[in-house]
Amino acid sequence: MNIVIFLGSAGSGKGTQSQYLKKEWGYRHISTGDLLREEMARGSSLGETIRLKVDQGDLVSDDIIIQMIDQTIQSLVATNAKGVIFDGFPRTMDQAVSLQSLLEPMGRSLTKVFYFDLALEESLRRLSGRRIDPRDGQIYHEAFNPPPPEVRPHLTQRSDDFPEKISHRYDIFLKETMPLLDYYGKALVPLDCSSPIDQITSTILSELGVSSANA
């Protein structure tokens, strides 16, 4: 089973590539951002603690993240998925070390770490236009993928998708997450995220050795 990490700043296309691998190749998609939003939607006190950080564009504490991901990783023992993608996790060195120590006893190791490389200007352009239909999770973009008129009244914008929050998230990415590039060394595959989506997908599939013969 391939175990991969998608590491990159917000808006770099990690979610899009994850959805493709999930739909077409049966990969399991584990996004800490989604897990955190689910907890916030439950309205628990933990969810409220998380919201204070997410709304500011700050990182949620390593303790909360590691506890949350621990349960999910344990469920991988029984999975028959062809692969697993960690999307947006790890984001700090402590999280990376914890992931290692959770996988080791299971006899699992990372296959590849994909680094989705994107400049701040492009991140701002992509995220500030992002709109979500909460009824089905469909994601639109005001300029690149405009919503149909009848959907427009339902659309929401993520609280952390406003320009000053996007810049703050980018700064945090540079400070907390960029050091992981060295940590992963040879396992790291850089992806130029200004390239067309299909081209990025092809690189990922070829790095994973995924083809209809061995998927």
Residues lying near ligand AMP in the complex (CB under 6 A) are found at: 10, 32-33, 36, 53-54, 57-60, 65, 88-89, 91, 95, 160, 169
DSSP structural state of residue 139: E
Question: CA-CA distance, 147 to 142, in Å (whole number)?
Answer: 7
Contact 115, 178 (CB under 8 A): no
Nearer to ligand AMP, 69 or 210 (CB): 69
From residue 71, give the alpha-carbon distance in Å to each of 45, 65, 131: 19, 11, 31
* Active-site position among 28, 126, 165, 169: 169
14 catalytic per annotation = yes
What is the nearest approach in angstroms of ligand AMP to the Cβ of residue 65? 4
* Tokens 């309205």 found at: 43
Nearer to ligand AMP, 60 or 200 (CB): 60
* Active-site position among 37, 53, 108, 158: 158
What is the nearest approach in angstroms of ligand AMP to the Cβ of residue 3? 16
Cis link prior to 153 (omega < 30° from 0)? Answer: no
- With CB atoms as reference, the residue minimizing the distance to ligand AMP is 33
* Active-site position among 91, 126, 131, 165: 91
91 catalytic per annotation = yes
Q: Tokens representing 51?
A: 């919201």
Nearer to ligand AMP, 60 or 193 (CB): 60
What is the nearest approach in angstroms of ligand AMP to the Cβ of residue 59? 4
What is the nearest approach in angstroms of ligand AMP to the Cβ of residue 95? 6
Q: Tokens representing 52?
A: 């204070």
152 catalytic per annotation = no
Nearer to ligand AMP, 166 or 200 (CB): 166
Nearer to ligand AMP, 65 or 200 (CB): 65
Question: CA-CA distance, 101 to 96, in Å (whole number)?
Answer: 9
* Active-site position among 28, 112, 126, 130: 130
51 catalytic per annotation = no
169 catalytic per annotation = yes
Question: CA-CA distance, 65 to 99, in Å (whole number)?
Answer: 11
Question: CA-CA distance, 59 to 82, in Å (whole number)?
Answer: 30
**50 φ/ψ angles, rounded to the nearest 5 degrees:** -65, -45
What is the nearest approach in angstroms of ligand AMP to the Cβ of residue 192? 20
Cα–Cα nearest to 116, from 181, 165, 169, 176: 181
Which are the catalytic amino acids? 14, 91, 130, 158, 169
